Amino acid sequence: MGIIDRIGAAPGYSHAVTVTGTLAFVSGQVALDESGNLVGPGDLKAQTRQAMHNLEGVLTQLGATWADVVKFGWYLTDVTEIQTVRDVRDEFIRPALGDRPNPASTLVQVSSLFKPEFLIEVEAVVAV
């Protein structure tokens, strides 16, 4: 029995992911639209959706899809709202993953992001 077998199933993420290919490390994405305006002031769902939309744009530029994401890094100002983030994340990634497990993931609660109106930032490691 390996260490991963002993620590139990992960709720909504993988404990470890192996990759083949080139890795891309995508900087944190926030809820800014193409004009640099905040989307969804005070609305975590809207901000998460915009940050994921922005991340999707970076993936496209890399020639990657959600299925190529091997790890997320999440920074939230209130981790009690994690289910909202998971629900939005799944809108984006589940169609690409099918029955494959979710990517590895780390969640950190922060007192503030680079501007206080931001509620979430998401970064990714992608195997292209």
23-29: strand order across its sheet: 23-29, 120-127, 69-76, 104-109
User: What are 80-97's pLDDT values in tens digits?
Assistant: 999 999 999 999 999 999
Does the domain at residues 24-127 carry the CATH identifier 2.60.40.1180?
no
Residue with tokens 């709202």: 81
User: What are 3-44's pLDDT values in tens digits?
Assistant: 455 667 777 777 787 778 899 999 999 999 999 999 999 999
Residue 121's H or E segment, with its range, is strand 120-127
Spell out the domain ranges in the chain.
24-127
pLDDT, the chain, mean: 92
pLDDT the model gives residue 39:
98
